[in-house]
Each structure stands twice: as C-alpha cells, then as structure tokens.
Amino acid sequence: YYRMAETYGVRHFSFMPECYVWPKEQSLIEQSASKKAGPWIVKPAGSSQGKGATWHYFVLKIPFPLHFT
C-alpha cells in the first residue's frame, strides 16, 4: 500500500482505512484517537475470518489487552 501510494499518489488510495497493530503501535493509536472520532474496528490476529471482530466508538473503551477465544 505505502509503496503504491508513494508512486501514484495518496489520493488514489483514500479507500484504505488506517490500520494499526496493538500493542506495537499503541502510541500511534492514541495519537490518532485524539485527533479523530471512531468508529474503530478491532479484529483478532490470525485467520479468524472476522470472528471476534468488535466495533467501538471510543478507543478508551476497547478492552486492552485483547483476549479472543
């Protein structure tokens, strides 16, 4: 995504949502949350095929650490 956006311009890739990996990018998540409102879609790691995905409007209400079964 980033290479293509750099080559062809970000305006062609506005359909891509911002994505973060928790806990590695927790500070980026907090920075983004302070600038923008939700919704935030939280998905479990691995090939869960959408099982366990949750929808949140406020980052502070996301139950960290995330434990999916």
pLDDT, residue 40, reads 84
Q: Is the pLDDT assigned to residue 69 strictly greater than 50?
A: no
Q: Is the pLDDT assigned to residue 68 strictly greater than 60?
A: no
pLDDT, residue 57, reads 81
∠56-59-60 over CA atoms, to 5°?
A: 115
Res. 60 pLDDT band, cuts 50 70 90: confident
Determine whether 22 is exposed, middle or buried from the number of CB atoms within 10 Å of its CB (0-12, 13-18, 19+).
middle
The two tokens of residue 44 are: 């479990």
What tens digit of pLDDT does each residue of 6-42 get?
888 888 877 777 888 877 888 888 888 888 777 888 8
Q: What are the CB-based long-range contacts (under 8 Å, 24+) for 63-66?
A: 64/22, 64/23, 65/23, 66/22, 66/42
